[in-house]
Structures are given as C-alpha cells and as structure tokens.
Chains A and B, each alone.
Chain A
C-alpha cells in the first residue's frame, strides 16, 4: 500500500519520464528528417542543373533521378509504423496518467472553480495532441505542411511546378520529355480516319496545349485540339510500388477524317505553363509510314516570344498576338485548366467541339 499523496508524485514522475523519452524521440525524428531533406534537396538541385544541358539526351538520367527522389522520399513502412505506434502509446499513456492524478484529488460537487482548475489539463492535452500531429506529419512527408519545402516526387514531372523556378528553362526540360506526334490511319468505308496521339518519352504533365495540323499548298487546317494534360499514376497494382513517372506514354488527342494526299502536313504545338508568359512552340513535319503518320526527326522547339499569355483563375488569357493562333475565337472559351482535352475537325460537315475521353496508355 502506497500513500495516496506519494502515489500521485510517483505517477507524475513517470509521466515526466515518458515525456522526456518522447522529446528525445522528437529529436531523433528531426535528425532523420533533416538528413532526408538534405538528400532530397540535393537530388532536386541535380535535377534542375540537368536542364542547363539541353542539347544532349538526358531522358534516362532524369527518369532515374525522379526514381531516386521517390526512393528517398518514402520512409520504409516498418520503422515508420513502429515509431508512430510508440509515439501514440506514449502520448496517450501520459494523458491517461495526467487525468488519473487530476481525478484522484477531484471531489464533487462540480463547481465553476473546478472548471478553471481543469484549464492546465486541457491545455496540456491539446499541446500533446498537437505535438503528436507535428511528429506524424514530419515522418510522412506527404502532407501540406512540408509540401512547399519538399515537393512530392509527382511534382517533379509537373511542368507548371518546375516552371516556377526562376532559373529553369521549361524548353529544355520539355526537350528531354521528347514530345512527338503520331497519327494512326484507319480506312473506314472509303474514308481515312486519323487518330492523333501525343507521345511522351518521359511523362511530363500539368500544362496546357494547343495543337493545329495544317496542310501546306493550299493551306488548310485539318485538325485542332487544346486542353490540359494531367496524369494520375496509381501505385503499381502488383508490386505496390509508387509510380512517380512513366515512360513511352501515349495521349489520345482526338480523331478526324483525312482526305487527299498525306504529304506536306505540318503541325504546330504550343505549350502553356503556369509559371511562364511565352508559350513553347513545337513545329513538326509529318512523314508517311505504313498505316501511320509520324513526326520526322527532331522537331523545331522555340519559345514563341510573339505570343504573351497570362493564367488567371485557371483560365488562359492571350494578351498579345491572338491572330497567330488559328481558330482562336472558336477555342478560346476552352482555354482553361480543367484537365479536359477538346478537339475539332473542321473538315466534317458540322464541325463541333468534342471532348476526348480516351485515357492515356503506355506503348
């Protein structure tokens, strides 16, 4: 039998000891997290540095850097759950001890003064729960608290995110993504139906595009498309590994009826990102293959300084040189970042704007 007054001291001493242990766990966590942040920022910096060397092929290197980033980003599951359960147990036990000591000396009836006496306990409970949340957030980097300091790996494939870095050239990052056009031709009842695909060697997303396919001599617009490209890659269903970035991705942009010969077809592809004011322009020359039309060689990639745009509330406003974008009037209501892709076939008897619902695929 221990004396009641003494027992309360013992309980409080145990609670204090546990609290010290908990704070040392906090230091331990902060050490680990700091090291991880260092690693992640190093990789991020290396990634940004790559963009200065646009003339050589760095696609493989960028891919492996994003994967490396992903590897450092996730904390191994087992130690994480162990630490989390330790923290939870510790905090709830401390709270339990505090409450017990309080009620040991609490004598009815309930008065207003008792409520005032309760205030330290309430503040203590609130502070410990807040501390718990803080620790949990630091261990799981996927939270809004740290997102601004350490971007999630999926952010590294977002052109809009990357374009926020002042010294990063969007053009050279896009060069490594190797965007190309591919039209697969299918004959149907005497007519040729062409499905347009955008191929990306490395799946960069989060940008707005505008595409026009034109025939030269006589000049004629064959196909128009615009919209936002955004991917969601769920973790691999079999291995359960996260997928920050994919290779060889095909994005369907729509289809149209192709009439006449397939020579001298050129394409203009504009990329609008959130952090810039001039779009990146791709010029493709399409060549005929067996059953397909594909862009030949390296496309001409330039930043089009003639066009100025601004993104306002998910809407893209062209400020200068609207006339250099064919059929801008028809498409302008759809120049917004809603994750939808639209296309228009001007040669069809009744040209209407359609939404492309086909999902992207890897091939």
Chain B
C-alpha cells in the first residue's frame, strides 16, 4: 500500500493541480525586502504545492524504491510543461528547476544509492522538455533551463558522473535552436557544451 505507484502518482497529481503561490504575496521575506514594516511580521506565506511535491518525492528518495522517485520527477516536469507559458516563463521555470535542483543535490549524497540512475533519467527528461520549450518558442525558459542544467552537468562531471547524455542534450538544443533561427540560444548551448567538463 505504502509503495503503490498509482496512489503515489495520484497524490502527487492532486498536489500539483493546486495553483502555484502568487509571486506578489504579502509574506515578508527578510532576504528580499528592502524595508521592514512592522505590521507585516505576523503574515503567513501562501501554501505552495511545489514544496509539498518536493517533500513527497524526497520521502520516496529517502526510503522508497527508485521507481517512485522516477515517477515523481516525471510528474513534476509534466506539471511544469502544462503550466509554462509566455506570461510566466521566467518565474515558472525558475521555481520548478529549483525543485529539481534540490532533488538533484539530494541524489548526489554519498549515501544515496541510485545516483547514476537518477542522473541518467533526469538527463533524458531534459532532452524532451527542452525540445518542447524550443518548439513552443519559450526562449527565456530555454535560457534559464540551459544555465541551470549546465550547472547540474558541471557538478555531475566533478562527481565523476557520465555527462554524455547532457552533451547530447546540449547538442540537440543547439541544432533545434539553429533551425528555429535562435542563433543566440544556439551559441549559448554550444558554449555551455564546451565548458561542461572544464574542471
């Protein structure tokens, strides 16, 4: 029952179907706020489905089979693809990739046994996601995506994980971007590919 993949995905989908927390909420974040107004100190942040989803996936990474983690990432990225649009591309891509990045950092832990599987699966997903982004002309998300994924790739190379799938992804991205006429994006993909493994 606990490790039922259908129930896991259903729960995840239920969480992810809630609306994302709005950016301009009134909760006071001291790291971002320029000035402190005393009457805002007691405000609470709005519920964030992404935090909940990440928590659920982290649970599965802590003591679940890899299959659940795999499904979790898949659902997270699917929910991203359904949400991202021209209006919210920067913030949406950022918040989803931050989640993925947290999961990735957890997967790099010494005691996590499925690091290779996790990274391989993630690399394969990136390929499809970026293809969707290029085809739907979401340029800003592509840039954000590219820089974050390269960051992960660099980490992976330093941890001696294989990066050929990421290289392949960057090469594909370059070709697609060039075909669609986004030369700047193509150049940036190429540059990232050349710098991926420079220690």
Q: Which residues of A contact B (CB under 8 A)?
A: 56-61, 63-64, 178, 180, 201, 247-248, 289-292, 294, 297-298
Give the contact-size bracket for chain B: 20 to 34
Q: How far is the CB of B173 from chain A (nearest CB, A)?
A: 12
- From the candidates A56, A63, A292, name the one contacting B161 in the complex (CB within 8 A): A56
User: Would A294 and B168 count as touching, CB distance under 8 A?
Assistant: yes
User: Would B176 and A290 count as touching, CB distance under 8 A?
Assistant: yes
Indicate whether A247 sits within 8 Å of B194 (C-beta atoms), given known contacts A61-B199, A290-B179, A292-B175.
yes
User: Would A57 and B160 count as touching, CB distance under 8 A?
Assistant: yes
Q: B31 within 8 Å of A by Cβ? A: no
Q: B198 within 8 Å of A by Cβ? A: yes
Question: Can you name the residue of chain B whose Cβ is closest to the Cβ of A294?
Answer: B168
Q: B95 within 8 Å of A by Cβ? A: no
- 12 examples of A-B residue contacts, CB within 8 angstroms: A57-B156, A57-B160, A57-B162, A58-B160, A59-B197, A60-B199, A64-B199, A201-B197, A248-B193, A248-B194, A289-B172, A290-B176
- From the candidates A64, A247, A248, A290, name the one contacting B175 in the complex (CB within 8 A): A290
With most chain A CB atoms within 10 A of its CB, the pick from B161, B175, B197 is: B197
User: Would A298 and B164 count as touching, CB distance under 8 A?
Assistant: yes
Question: Can you name the residue of chain B whose Cβ is closest to the Cβ of A61?
Answer: B199
Q: Please name all residues of chain B whose beta carbon is closer than 8 Å to the beta carbon of A248 when the two chains form the complex.
A: 193-194
Question: Can you name the residue of chain B whose Cβ is closest to the Cβ of A58?
Answer: B160
Q: B15 within 8 Å of A by Cβ? A: no
Docked CA distance A248–B192 (Å): 12
User: Would B161 and A60 count as touching, CB distance under 8 A?
Assistant: no
Q: How far is the CB of B155 from chain A (nearest CB, A)?
A: 12
Q: Please name all residues of chain A whose beta carbon is closer than 8 Å to the beta carbon of B176 when the two chains form the complex.
A: 290
Q: How far is the CB of A362 from chain B (nearest CB, A)?
A: 9
Q: Please name all residues of chain A whose beta carbon is closer than 8 Å to the beta carbon of B129 when the two chains form the complex.
A: none
